[in-house]
Structure 1
Amino acid sequence: MKKLLIAVLILTFNAFAQEDKALAVLRSDASLKEKAEACRELARVGTGKSVPTLAQMLADESLSQMARHALEQIPDPSANAALRDSLGKVKGRLLMGVIHSLGVRKDTEAVQPLSRFLADPDPDVADAAARALGSIGAPSAPVLEKALTQGATANKSAIMEGLFRCAESMSASEAARIYDKIRDLPDLPHQVRVAALRGLVRCRGAETVPLLIETLKTESYVSAANAIRMLAEIPGQEVTKVLVAELGRAKPDVQTLLLHALGNRGDWTVSAALVPLAKDGPANVRVAAIRSLVQLGAPASIPVLVDLAKDPAPDVSNAALAGLTGFPTKEADEAMLALLEEKNTKLRLSAIDAVAQRRVKAAIPALIKIAVEADTDVAGPSFQALGELAEENDVPSVVGALVQTRAIAAAETALAAICARQSDRTGCANSVLSGLAKAQSEPKLALLRVLGTIGGTKALDAIRAAAQESDAAVRETALRVLCDWPTADVLPDLEQIAKASDDTKFKILARRAQLRLIPTQNAPDTQKVSQLKEIMASVERQEEKRLALAALANIHTEDSLQVVNQYLAAEGLNEEAGDAAVSIAEQIVASHPATVAAAIKMVRTNNKKLADRAQQVLTRAEAAAREQGFKPIFNGRDLSGWDGKPGWWKVEDGALTAESTPDKPCKAPNYLIWRGGQPADFELLADFKLSTEGNSGIQIRSEERPDWDTFGYQADMTGNGELIGFIYHHSRGLVAGRGEKVVFAPDGTKTIERIGDAAELLKHFRQGDWNTYRIVCRGNDIALYLNGVLMCQVTDHSTQAAAKGIIALQMHPGPPMKVQFKNIRLRDLSR
């Protein structure tokens, strides 16, 4: 509880601070946008303290709306008083806004002040007052009722709207009195009369049934429709009986509305009363009765619908058939099975469609019989239904039907769909092979094509055998199936066709199939690339070469890229080859940057998107090439491999971190030393970030001294940038400044050459953010780069020059500071 109380106090304090800040903005000469934002903030955190300032803004054309928005949300009662007080100080649009805000706040003390505006000469103000009074609720009702009967007629609509709003907050009896009063007015607009009637229904329920029946009998179709809709919303069998009674007396257009309402009520005991209207009368009434019978779902209605499905009136029969298809109970399945036996084509087709939609598995034997015996117009849809319903145990029967039917194409499609759903492809293949042994002519060709969709060893053997038959049609179909085979086990057959076939068409189809399947086979990538390379050399048409390039694009190896390279300048193929080269390069750039860079530089394209991808991957390749040979010497997790003065170095957010504070000052330098060796010739990359007061450095070719101290060269750095890009030495002080090339002769004589402007070079430093040092030590030369830009160079031939030494990171004494290092990588240059 104590913690909860503290949390509440903190939040309250924050809210008070935010309120003060927002009020300061409103009292200043801040911009309109800033003041609007301050008002939004006060709507969230404002208290009574904000009310006087906001009240002064109510007369401001630019800020009145935002001030009102804030006042509407402030819970303090003074906000009501401020709004009421401004009623006499603003006019026009601003006055309407204040009136609206009083309604939003439901200020009961504003009823009398607002009532005076009901007769305002400005009709917009009068309307706003009426609506605001309505929003306040019941206390405003007497004022609005008086205005309704005694006031001007110009704003009657707004007054009635206000009364409707009042009624929503009143008791049922009081609200009903309001609705009655409005209904008694002469010449009411239709929408107002309907709203008042609906209000009465909500308040009095079944008591309003006589009134609704009276409305239903009016000459107005719209009024009748509204009355029926309201009757349908009143629960109870008594209302249902009333609706049924009116069916026999109503005009046809109203009968359709009554039927729809009865269907929606879901009381199937009234189904018998609907049957006569379904059997006889105007077509639109019969259709409405049928639809309601279906909605009610009484099983006794099914025979009626079956009879109506045979009705000569198309609208009626179609509605009955659609109703049987969507009938909510299983009893309708038997009716659809019976309709399958009908001789009438329309009925049979509808029944076929219905059993498929209703998933009636019991219809499968009848569908197979129809598929065999009927003409193509009926057999085709029957096979389509079988394709949706049949399972594995039905495959032999469907195969048998295919062998006998005249609708061979539909049978083939259905059989392929059935087999595609089954997990036991071998069982399906066996059933199809059994039928194949008996089939001749077109059915045999169809079964061969189905075997091609099933796949598997047995099916492939059968297709191979068919490809050797003397029948030209069988042989050609088998060859096409081989070229469309879904798996790579057909590759030897395709190679044979491509090399031995006398038909150019099949040579091309075989090569295309090879190009499709080679990437999918379970084989080493080197084998796939070799096969694709061989095919590319053997085909003449560019269409196949393009397919080969597309296949190579999905094999991400150095070998595949080298094959693609041969076509980067080929006329008519350079775009496809470029796309393939970039696709491969994007995947292997990290492991083969040199190969990728060489290939990408040869890409020529007019496709901007491809050119952008090529440039991106080239940039990555060049970066990867720069990183080759580098090894991380910091794991990003802990101090493994590093040794420093206890209590000073840690890993924070993946970076080696040292920090001094007023409570923990750093009085003497200490270093975090890498224990991985003493490199001589090397390249070091390290990201670093310092606080503004920070002072640090990276020791290279240095000696270790007691108490975690060092001696030697240092890549210097400070958070303010003063020593960024400098090389320092413990015995010599500043060795090379930013923008200098320094040479030490054997006797220690120092010569300096200017290689850049120190101020311009400093612009590459990102103060307060991460930067990267690159240090290259080779022989007597040391070069320091910042973010890829050379800062300074040293060539040291003196006797003090160190050829190797430790690497360490500095924690410098002085004011509180923080320094971090990460992504530290080392590359050996001695080889």
Structure 2
Amino acid sequence: VIGYWLFTHPLFAQEKPTPAVVPQQPAVVPQPPAVVPQPPAPPTVDELIKQLKSTDPILRQQSASELGFRREMKAVGALIEVLSDTHTAVRRNAVDSLGLLRAREAVTPLTNLLDDSDPQTRQSVAVALGYIGDPKVAGVLTKKLKDPNDGVRFAAGQTLGLLRNTEAIPALVECLKDKDMDMRLIAVRALGDISEKSVTKDLFPLLKEENPRLRSETAYALGKISSPEAIDALSPLLKDTDKKVRLASAQSLGKLGNKEGYPVALELLKDRDVLLRAQAADALGDIGEKKAIPELEKLREDPDLFVRNAVEISLTRLGWRPPTTTPKTPAKIPEKK
């Protein structure tokens, strides 16, 4: 009895373990999906035109530029009005946009800006007139060949070449004697683009220029002009120390019906320079020597796409045609006996 009492008395009885309290997880409240802000819709053309009259010059500048990039012809009239804006950047962007739009109705107001106080605006006008392509502005542009700013002079010379108006020839010939080598180079290219045979002899002195780039560009221009009297002047350049000059001479001689430069072009067909290989391939097409076909065929697998394209064009000019592949006849299976 005593033993039973000892084990049943509360002082001696073992306490039951208290169960662990498991923390309750808070209820997950579903959240609405995040709203991604949508970019504002771009302004319409009408809104951009309206912004050209904003009091904020930066907004006017941006609108003038955007209208050109969008190629919106309905904005031409509004852009012409902006050419008189008091802020230089606004005027310049309007000039660029009118050029991109090829807006012929803007030719007269643009030529008036050739005397703008800002040289970058004058340069932009000269470039824009080249995009528009009205040959009537040649007379006005020739005056800009004497602009105090080099950028304006260079742009005017390049545009005169694009316009191909013979009215510009006397002024461009005068530029062949300019102190600035880049101006002489631009004049050579422009005269080559105009391609008037009367300037052939005016270009001969530049074949002896110290700068090889000027010699090669002059040789190339003489090929574009295609005057037979240039043959005797070009032939010595086949032995020039500069390979670009040699190749330009070979190619121009080829255009004149002279194959004397064939070995030069053939040699440079293997040059490491990608542009030289491509030009050499092009020159072989001009020279017209069919025996160049096997050498050109080797470059049909050239790693450079530019070279491969030049090769294919020259091969076609030389009368080459790709070989036709005959489908193989399947082998006959012997019949079982």
TM-score range, shorter chain: 0.5 to 0.7
1:247: which partner in 2?
114
Deviations 1:442-480 (A, max 9, x none): xxxxxxxxxxxxxxxxxxxxxxxxxxxxxxxxxxxxxxx
The 3 A distance-change label for structure 1 pair 348 and 271 is: same
Which structure has the highest helix share of the two?
Answer: 2
Higher relative contact order (CA 8 A, sep 6+): 2
2:234: which partner in 1?
367
* Secondary structure of the structure 2 residue equivalent to 1:240: helix
* Secondary structure of the structure 2 residue equivalent to 1:243: helix
* Secondary structure of the structure 1 residue equivalent to 2:152: helix
Any stretches of 5+ residues in structure 2 without a counterpart? Answer: 1-29, 268-283, 293-330
2:87: which partner in 1?
218
The 3 A distance-change label for structure 1 pair 311 and 92 is: same
Structure 1 residues 486-565: aligned runs within 5 Å = none
The 3 A distance-change label for structure 1 pair 229 and 185 is: closer
Instruction: Indicate yes or no: 2:204 matched with 1:340.
Output: yes
2: CA distance between counterparts of 1:412 and 1:238?
49
Shift of 1:207: 3.1
Structure possessing the higher radius of gyration over alpha carbons:
1
| 2:189 alignment partner, one of 317, 322, 327 | 322
Structure 1 residues 660-671: aligned runs within 5 Å = none
* Secondary structure of the structure 2 residue equivalent to 1:214: coil
* Secondary structure of the structure 2 residue equivalent to 1:281: coil
* Secondary structure of the structure 2 residue equivalent to 1:273: helix
2: CA distance between counterparts of 1:196 and 1:384?
45
1:754: which partner in 2?
none
1:294: which partner in 2?
161
Counterpart code for 2:41: G
Shift of 1:242: 0.3
Structure 1 residues 88-103: aligned runs within 5 Å = 91-93=32-34, 95-96=35-36
The 3 A distance-change label for structure 1 pair 394 and 203 is: closer
Shift of 1:343: 8.4
1:263: which partner in 2?
130
| 1:208 alignment partner, one of 70, 73, 78 | 78
1: CA distance between counterparts of 2:191 and 2:215?
13
The 3 A distance-change label for structure 1 pair 230 and 343 is: closer
* Secondary structure of the structure 1 residue equivalent to 2:122: helix
2: CA distance between counterparts of 1:203 and 1:382?
45
Counterpart code for 1:292: T
Shift of 1:423: 5.0
- The question of whether the paired residues in 1 share the 8 Å contact of 2:206 and 2:218 is answered with no
If the length of structure 1 is used for normalisation, what is the TM-score?
0.25
Counterpart code for 1:318: L
Identity %: 19
The 3 A distance-change label for structure 1 pair 184 and 228 is: closer
Shift of 1:354: 2.9
Shift of 1:323: 2.7
Shift of 1:299: 1.9
1:194: which partner in 2?
62
Which structure has the highest strand share of the two?
Answer: 1
The 3 A distance-change label for structure 1 pair 277 and 182 is: closer
2: CA distance between counterparts of 1:635 and 1:349?
65
Instruction: Indicate yes or no: 2:64 matched with 1:230.
Output: no
Shift of 1:285: 1.3
The 3 A distance-change label for structure 1 pair 226 and 413 is: same
**How many pairs align?**
245
Any stretches of 5+ residues in structure 1 without a counterpart? Answer: 1-60, 62-89, 97-123, 132-160, 168-174, 399-410, 426-631, 642-675, 677-831
The 3 A distance-change label for structure 1 pair 239 and 360 is: same
1: CA distance between counterparts of 2:152 and 2:145?
7
* Secondary structure of the structure 1 residue equivalent to 2:144: helix
Counterpart code for 2:185: N
1: CA distance between counterparts of 2:56 and 2:291?
77
Instruction: Indicate yes or no: 2:171 matched with 1:304.
Output: yes
Cα RMSD for the two superposed structures? 4.6
1: CA distance between counterparts of 2:66 and 2:248?
49
1:158: which partner in 2?
none
2:304: which partner in 1?
none
- The question of whether the paired residues in 1 share the 8 Å contact of 2:250 and 2:265 is answered with yes
The 3 A distance-change label for structure 1 pair 280 and 349 is: same
Counterpart code for 1:194: Q
